[in-house]
A = this chain, B = another copy of it.
Amino acid sequence: MNERLYLYDTTLRDGQQTQGVQFSTPEKQQIAAALDALGIDFIEGGWPGANPTDSEFFASAPTFDHARFAAFGMTKRAGFSAENDDVLAAVLNAGTQAVCLVGKSHEYHVTRALGISLAENTENIARSVAHLVAQGREAIFDAEHFFDGYLANPGYAVETLQAALEAGARWVVLCDTNGGRLPAEVGRITAEVIAAGVPGDRLGIHTHNDTGNAVANALAAIDAGARQVQGTLNGLGERCGNANLVTLIPTLLLKEPYASRFETGVSAAALRDLVRVSRTLDDILNRVPTKSAPYVGASAFAHKAGLHASAILKDPSTYEHIPPEAVGNARVIPMSNQAGQSNLRKRLADAGIAVQKGDMRLGALLDEVKRREDMGYSFDSAQASFELLARRHLEGLPEFFEVKRYRVTVERRKNKYDRMVSLSEAVVVLKIGDEKMLSVSESMDETGCDRGPVNALAKALGKDLGPYTPYIADLRLVDFKVRITNGGTEAVTRVLIDSEDGQGRRWSTVGVSANIVDASFEALVEAIQWKLIRDGAPRIALAAE
């Protein structure tokens, strides 16, 4: 029988301490539902009473299939009884099954920050926990600054844990609040705490990433015997963030000694949804996903080195530590000028284009890729543009539409209220089959804000594609990156555009020109072409054919 290891998520509380992050109530509901579906054991929703959003979220009383809902607060203040502390009362009034209270375990913080005696602090912890238990709640004690406190006064730090346990706490959690401790000491101290009589199956670990070791510190505590681990999605959290559950979960499920030893609430099927869960949070935060994120990043299984790519073709395990599909990710063999023909064939295969080894066209295509990279194109960031280039070379591309011309005007002048305002207008003229289509759009968005010439151009281009218009109805531009780079000897502009559609596909295209509007237009046109090909849009025959 495997040991149970519990996962405790604090994205909605500690995660919200991230600079620039403030979740709305519907966002909290969406994140909580994703955590529950993933199989997280505890979902900490916030601090009821601390701010209006947190209170509103608890009032909406989400229900979960699997997870226990937890409220966060602090141990009662000196001078109040647990029953009469209004801060504590607000936490309990949220009515959650589990309640996590933070309290001091570092003597310096007790005497310096709280200004009370060590005995008073221990008493506050015990009374607060007993009050939770009396109300039938699962009581969790977060021992703030535990590791720093243990190094200063180990006896007192452990005494605070024992006070909580004796008062009926289900869990005591060792917190590296300042995030400065390293794995070896976290492992050693956790083992010493267990040796001092705190049972491992009532012990949790809460770590921060200030030395880049949040995940390793959590693992070190689990190695030493802790059986609850706290963290956040995508490692959100105050300062450098908390332990990243999106990184920890696959390690615990897929790697030894954890995989054979522990059972968690996360199933193999839920694990295959991990990339999507991680992206959901990025979408809510309007953040560009971190490409290099362990397990779930877009680059996590990208093999750029030519030697690696050729070995991957023989056996993926040669350069992959897990199968990417186990976490819902996919292998990527990008193009770059370090890659050879084996990369190229693998990339073509991924795009559904089979080419035999030694095919003479490979050399010519590789030369073209290199020539364009010298001009400033970057195909390892823009795989859709690579696919179009390859198809054009190998099999010819259907010409869905021809761009006859376009014109964009940017004007800035005073409006009738004597304020300077700007507006862009774009005219795009296309030929589709035998028909000429003229479209015009301007750059104003629904809030009356000018979004600039590229926006106007994108709208005009997509406005009327004749028979293709339904194909691009669900196309959205989700990111736009501009870089000045060297194309040959001249500075040129490289524009990368990420697009998304209703099927959840995401693809990137690139345009390069000395003229930023031209470069953007090229990437926009390719974004549409790629979708039309993928969705099998028919080519419109010309009357002359």
Closest CB in chain B relative to A77 CB, distance in Å: 12
Q: Does A411 contact B (CB under 8 A)?
A: yes
Q: Given A212-B215, A299-B240, are A449 and B490 also a contact pair (CB < 8 Å)?
A: yes
Closest CB in chain B relative to A66 CB, distance in Å: 25
Chain A 81-124 against B: per-residue CB contact (8 Å), 1 yes, 0 no? 00000000000000000000000000011001100000000000
Q: Does A475 contact B (CB under 8 A)?
A: no
Residues of A within 8 A of B (CB-CB), count = 121
- Bound complex: CA A491 to CA B483 (Å): 16
Q: When the two chains form their complex, are residues B19 and A304 in contact, meaning their CB atoms are under 8 A apart?
A: yes
Q: Does A505 contact B (CB under 8 A)?
A: no
Q: Does A64 contact B (CB under 8 A)?
A: no
- Bound complex: CA A183 to CA B177 (Å): 22
Chain A 267-305 against B: per-residue CB contact (8 Å), 1 yes, 0 no? 000000000000000000010000111110111111111
Q: When the two chains form their complex, are residues B407 and A410 in contact, meaning their CB atoms are under 8 A apart?
A: yes
Q: List 8 A-B contacts (CB under 8 A).
A: A178-B319, A212-B247, A403-B412, A406-B411, A406-B412, A407-B412, A455-B514, A482-B482
Chain A 205-228 against B: per-residue CB contact (8 Å), 1 yes, 0 no? 000011111111101100100000
By a beta-carbon cutoff of 8 Å, the part of chain A in contact with chain B is 16-20, 22, 24, 50-53, 74, 108-109, 112-113, 177-184, 209-217, 219-220, 223, 235, 238-241, 244, 247-248, 251, 255, 286, 291-295, 297-305, 307-308, 311, 314-315, 318-322, 332, 334, 336-338, 373, 378, 380-381, 403-414, 420, 422, 424, 443, 449-455, 479-484, 486, 489-491, 493, 513-518, 521
- Bound complex: CA A381 to CA B19 (Å): 7
- Bound complex: CA A479 to CA B334 (Å): 30
* Residue numbers in B under 8 Å from A493 (CB-CB): 452, 482
Q: When the two chains form their complex, are residues B412 and A336 in contact, meaning their CB atoms are under 8 A apart?
A: no
Extra pairs beyond A52-B337, A238-B308 (14, CB < 8 Å): A17-B304, A20-B291, A20-B381, A50-B338, A74-B307, A180-B322, A184-B223, A235-B292, A403-B412, A404-B413, A405-B411, A422-B515, A449-B514, A451-B514
